Amino acid sequence: MVKSDKIKILYIDDEVNNLVGFKASFRMDYHVFIAPDTTQALAILEQNPDLRVILSDQRMPNQTGVQFFEQVRILHPNPMRVLITGYADIEAVIESINRGHIFRYIRKPWKEVDIISAIEEANKFYVTNSMLSTKNDELQKAYDELDKFAYSVTHDMRGPLLSILGAVDLSKSIDDIDEIKEMLGMMEKSVLKLDNFIRSVHEYYNLKRGELHIVNIDFNNVIKDLSDMYEITGKMNNVKFITKLSEKEVFRSDEMYLRIILNNLLSNAFKYNRKDISDKFVELNIETGNGSAVTNR
């Protein structure tokens, strides 16, 4: 094991001879820190967040090993805790398990083989716990992203779908064949756009799992798709849909997420319009330049 790979351990004991003997015995195999009291031990822990194993004597004048581990469990929960105590202190061992959540205890006077065994086992648990913690954080992040993604996609699709249903209901009372055909044409266009959107979202999420895919954005194409999608919505609610585009330079972003954001804005704009106004409109104004894109609706 090279020096840079040595496990960092901390030994706390109020007897100087024990500290010196401990460091002399294990300094070749481990990166050993020693402390004569818990105050210095806490300072060492603050300065070494990657410290993996703490070994503490139980009987110390100012604070027992159990009390120290109970404190450390809150302040520095990651290092594994090993209590060193005499056989007569078996009650302290039970207390340390309940209060300090120790990983293991060693009887005094300790033997090198017992110390090495405790450190190696504790280090295995430390590595396993660290990996589990990392995976749990990644899993929680994935769940959070999935919740946001699912909500956004559902919200974006519901508005146009309800408009199509409204158009179907309206068509039932129309007798003019040409008008019905026109209505059906608009519905078909919206359905195809939604179907394409759903498939794109599904493929995108399966491939990327929430990662961003940065590309040059063709806002003309984006606006055309949005106009087709909300054509029926505007007609059903007597809302005129106006689009404006001013591109001074190429804008790069994740196109799928950008479409979701714009869909969300437009869905709310069409849904929450004032019913008492006759000349209603929704205006989508996109401007790119100076390394940014500004959208107003």
Domain-located, residue 271: yes
Within this chain, do residues 212 and 282 fall inside the same structural domain, yes or no? Answer: yes
Domain coverage including residue 274: 137-296
CATH number for position 194:
3.30.565
**Both tokens of residue 168?**
């179907």
124-128 average pLDDT score? 90
CATH number for position 106:
3.40.50.2300
Q: Say yes or no to pLDDT of 11 above 50.
A: yes
Within this chain, do residues 153 and 253 fall inside the same structural domain, yes or no? Answer: yes
Using only C-alpha atoms, the chain has a radius of gyration, in whole angstroms, of: 33
Within this chain, do residues 14 and 87 fall inside the same structural domain, yes or no? Answer: yes
Domain end point (choices 92, 110, 128):
110
Domain-located, residue 130: no
Within this chain, do residues 143 and 288 fall inside the same structural domain, yes or no? Answer: yes
What digits encode the pLDDT tens for the residues 43-94?
999 999 999 999 999 888 888 888 898 889 899 989 999 988 876 566 666 6
Please state, in angstroms and rounded to a whole number, the distance separating the CA atoms of residues 83 and 72.
13
Task: Output the pLDDT for position 296.
Answer: 66
Domain-located, residue 148: yes
Within this chain, do residues 100 and 151 fall inside the same structural domain, yes or no? Answer: no
249-259 average pLDDT score? 83
**Both tokens of residue 120?**
């190696």
Q: Is 12 exposed, middle or buried (0-12, 13-18, 19+ CB in 10 A)?
A: buried
Task: Output the pLDDT for position 61.
Answer: 81
**Both tokens of residue 103?**
């990983």
Q: What's the number of domains the chain is made of?
A: 2
**Both tokens of residue 277?**
């106004």
Average pLDDT, the chain: 81
Please state, in angstroms and rounded to a whole number, the distance separating the CA atoms of residues 88 and 237.
84
What is the number of other CB atoms lying within 10 angstroms of the CB of residue 22? 21
154-179 average pLDDT score? 74
- 210 vs 24 pLDDT, higher one: 24
Within this chain, do residues 22 and 141 fall inside the same structural domain, yes or no? Answer: no
Within this chain, do residues 16 and 157 fall inside the same structural domain, yes or no? Answer: no
- 0.85 cut: is pTM over it? no
Task: Output the pLDDT for position 1.
Answer: 42
CA atoms within a 13 Å half-sphere pointing along the CA-CB vector of 131: 6
Domain-located, residue 124: no
Task: Output the pLDDT for position 119.
Answer: 93
Who contacts 276 (Cβ-Cβ below 8 Å, separation ≥6)?
A: none
Write the single-letter amino acid at 211: E
What digits encode the pLDDT tens for the residues 97-111?
766 578 888 888 888
Domain-located, residue 10: yes
Within this chain, do residues 156 and 92 fall inside the same structural domain, yes or no? Answer: no
Please state, in angstroms and rounded to a whole number, the distance separating the CA atoms of residues 110 and 66.
18
